[in-house]
Amino acid sequence: MEIRTINSLADFKEAHALIDAMSKWDSEQSRKFGVPDDELIEYIYGHTPETLMEKFNKRDAGFFLARIGENIAGCAGYSKSDDGIAELQKMYVRPEARGKGVARGLMTACLAGIRNDGYMTVRLETVTFMSEAIALYDAFSFERSGYLRSVPPSLQPITIFMERQV
């Protein structure tokens, strides 16, 4: 497995394809809780490859792609939140790559980048039905925290915020 920092538009196009796959699964699951697709897409998945590149190519941000052989296995990134705290975002591992250490590798890469960029705290947002992701965050000592930003009303009942010190 290889995990590397990305910064080219071609890399962000590959990451966008992963995030698009995640959005389809997330939309299907969220519908069960009454979350409209358009609201979820606008809130979480409204990026293009170009806007992802703009967001994660900034100083104090980073984005990583994981590969197993020639296949793209997953992605994750972090950026500075409005209040100056690191925020872990866009973590996704393809179903066929799960159980192979990809998520742990991506988390380790993100946390190293976050430390190197001088952050003291990292936060993330997830939802109740992402149990595998929550187990990963628990394993990396993230703890539940209160609401960190405004969330669309339909998402509030299923949203979880977590954070940890770096």
Q: In this model, does residue 147 exceed pLDDT 80?
A: no
Residue ranges and CATH numbers for the domains of the chain are 2-165 (3.40.630.30)
Which pLDDT band, with edges at 50, 70 and 90, does 150 fall under? confident
- What is the C-alpha to C-alpha distance for residues 138 and 89, in angstroms, rounded to an integer? 16
Q: Tell me the whole-structure pTM to 2 decimals.
A: 0.94
Tens of pLDDT along 96-117?
999 999 999 999 999 999 999 9
Structure tokens at 58: 């900034």
* Angstrom distance (rounded) from CA 27 to CA 147: 22
Question: Which residue has tokens 């973590």?
Answer: 91
CA 151 centroid distance within chain: 16
b (16+ CB within 10 A) / e for 34-54: ebeeeebeebbbebebeebbe
pLDDT score, position 38 = 86
pLDDT by residue (tens digit) across 23-76? Answer: 999 999 999 999 998 888 888 898 999 999 999 999 999 999 999 999 999 999
29: Cα within 13 Å, side-chain hemisphere: 15
pLDDT of residue 63: 98
User: Which pLDDT score, from 0 to 100, does residue 133 have?
Assistant: 96
* Percentage above 70 pLDDT, the chain: 99
Residues 6+ apart with CB under 8 A from 71: 94, 97
